[in-house]
Chain A
Amino acid sequence: MSEQIKKFMYINRRAPYGTIYAWESLEVVLIGAAFDQDVSLAFLDDGVFQLVKGQDTAEVDMKNFSPTYQALGDYDVTKLFVEKESLEERGLTLDDLMPLTYEDEDDDWAEKDSIKVVSRAELADIMEEQDVMFSF
């Protein structure tokens, strides 16, 4: 669909509910996957809450869209960077997050983790490499 491949990063900084940014960001990611770009997602600040497992929105009468993150691997969206300091500041660890995986076609379809915890400094370096950054 496009002649050139760019490095796209979607930056998620907000909690999943309370505002619509997280959900509408995910909609862009899903549509954008059709464009065959080099896509990654970053979760920092309250954005790390988007990946917390066991989300239950019944009491607030909002759509629980967290299962959609499980589908990202099927869309070839396999690089989800979660900022270590943001997790720690909120008393979270990797174990609190949904296990998200993808099948690596270059490695005999081995199942691999999509989530990679990186430090704030490492994430800054990764951001530096990007061509396009969508912030939500």
Chain B
Amino acid sequence: MKFAIQVNEGPYQHQATDSAYQFTKAALEAGHEVMRVFFYHDGVNNGTKLTTPPQDDRNIVNRWTELAKKYDLDLVVCVAAAQRRGIVDEGEMQRNGKDAENIADNFRISGLGQLVEAGIQSERLVVFGD
């Protein structure tokens, strides 16, 4: 099965992020394809490398990065949602005259077209949120 995943909620605040991760990991381990994970709304906060949870808790951001490295997973943060919430990569930093970037490894910032395209190209789009 060819899946696409949409994450609509922020990390730690809401379990949607954890469920999305567990689902994605399980699907990949079972041999399915996950063609894209798209982070929208507060879900874009999954993609900041500045996240520093207590050491005895899971690191949600690093967890995604590790999964992406292992399975060559496409982690896409919505640019419009990211701009509102201060998630910035090198290109966005320069375009918007900021003095810092914070995008985590293996995440990329792109447009909503990537979400719609994922809906078209996947066999199942699975949305995690309220």
Q: Answer yes or no: are A and B bound together in one complex.
A: yes
Q: Would you call the interface of chain B mostly helix, strand, loop, or mixed?
A: helix
Partner of A24, one of B41, B113, B117, B125: B41
Q: Is the CB of B112 within 8 A of A6?
A: no
For A96, list chain B residues within 8 Å (CB). none
- Residues 1-32 of A at the B interface (beta carbon under 8 Å): 2, 4, 6, 8, 20-21, 24, 27-28, 31-32
| A21–B115 CA distance with the chains assembled, in angstroms | 15
Given contacts A134-B6, A135-B127, contact A24 B119 (CB under 8 A): no
Q: Is the CB of A32 within 8 A of B112?
A: yes
- Residues 121-136 of A at the B interface (beta carbon under 8 Å): 132-136
| A79–B27 CA distance with the chains assembled, in angstroms | 34
Q: Would you call the interface of chain A mostly helix, strand, loop, or mixed?
A: mixed
Q: Is the CB of B117 within 8 A of A135?
A: no
Q: Is the CB of A35 within 8 A of B115?
A: no
Q: Is the CB of A24 within 8 A of B120?
A: no
For B116, list chain A residues within 8 Å (CB). 8, 28, 31-32, 35, 37
For B113, list chain A residues within 8 Å (CB). 31, 34-35
| A20–B9 CA distance with the chains assembled, in angstroms | 11
Residue of A nearest to B114 (CB): A31
For B81, list chain A residues within 8 Å (CB). 24
Inter-chain residue pair count (beta carbon < 8 A): 50
Q: Is the CB of A8 within 8 A of B119?
A: yes
Interface size bucket, A side? 10 to 19
Partner of A27, one of B112, B117, B125: B112
- A residues sitting closer than 8 Å to B (CB atoms) are 2, 4, 6, 8, 20-21, 24, 27-28, 31-32, 34-35, 37, 132-136
A-B pairs with beta carbons under 8 Å apart, 13 shown: A8-B119, A24-B41, A24-B80, A28-B112, A31-B112, A35-B113, A35-B117, A132-B125, A134-B6, A134-B115, A134-B119, A136-B8, A136-B41
